Amino acid sequence: MQRYFPAASKAAVQQLVSNLIAAFHQRLNTLSWMTPATRTKAEAKLDTLKVGVGYPETWRNYATLAIHHDDPLGNHQRALKFEYQHQLAKLHQPVDRGEWWMTPQTVNAVNLPLQNALNFPAAILQPPFFNPKADAAANYGAIGAIIGHEISHSFDNLGADFDAQGKLENWWTPADLKHFEAAGQQLVQQYDQYQPLPGLHVNGQQTLGENIADVSGLTIAYIAYHNSLGGKPAPVIDGLSGDQRFFLAFGQAWRSKIRDAALRQRLATDVHAPANFRALTVRNLDAWYPAFDVKPGQKLYLAPDQRVKIW
């Protein structure tokens, strides 16, 4: 696996993760609505977050799983039994916070509330999401926003129900919870207005957790990017400012094609908004407007009081 995802790339992504977590800490300390009691619990979740990058530290042993080239049904049945026994063996054992729930060749990432952990497989740590030779703006806008997205899942409408040890626990004060839920409903209303197909709208409530993570993840990725500049101005590359390259990288990471039938199915069942509407997360960040000189009256403009800020 190191041949395809070298140690230098792993170290670079781990540094990105550290910078994103630091940015989330920074963001927590600027939230006027959050009480000290809730902030302390939130910071504890960040401090104990376990992050896996590229591939597991310990590989699972499949030596006892019999696979035969001429027995596909038997292979399937034995694999099911093998996995069942693997899960059964966890009973009465400490939680393995380093366990991976995705293979390294999976183009995805995941937040694991019961482990208070994140997995970033090697396959997603490739262009267009991550390129060790790319400008910092491009990496923070693409993979940085995804890293921020997964960190933010620890504090979305589901992850916020789990504490630093992965236990189901309400760690919010009533006032803080009320504010958080109100901001979430504002985001629901925003996404309810999006219409991917004539007469078919995004379900803002169904996609709320992912939309919270998108907004919060892009917010802290932007903060982390500017922190990485060390107080120096971002270079202009190909006539584009650092902020422009950051937001363009985010939008380009969501390029996709999908048939109408598949889109209809996903609108009914998927907890993610369609990719092109996830790209519109930028509308909630104040910095996006001066970056591209977006003015009132233009199609994607949102008035400041309509821009949702969760974290």
So which residues are the catalytic ones? Answer: 150, 214
Going by C-alpha positions, the residue among 212, 190, 209 that lies closest to residue 201 is 190
What dihedral do alpha carbons 137, 209, 51, 23 form, nearest 10°? 50
List phi, psi (to 5°) of 117: -140, 160
Q: Could you give the residue ranges of the DSSP H alpha helices within the chain?
A: 7-28, 36-47, 72-88, 136-139, 145-152, 174-192, 208-228, 242-253, 260-269, 275-278, 288-292
Specify which residues 52 forms β-bridges with: 119
CA distance 42 to 176: 12
CB 207 within 8 A of CB 190: no
Question: Per the structure block, which two tokens stand in for 99?
Answer: 């366990």
- Distances, alpha carbon 143 to alpha carbons 173, 222, 291, in Å: 33, 12, 20
CA distance 45 to 142: 24
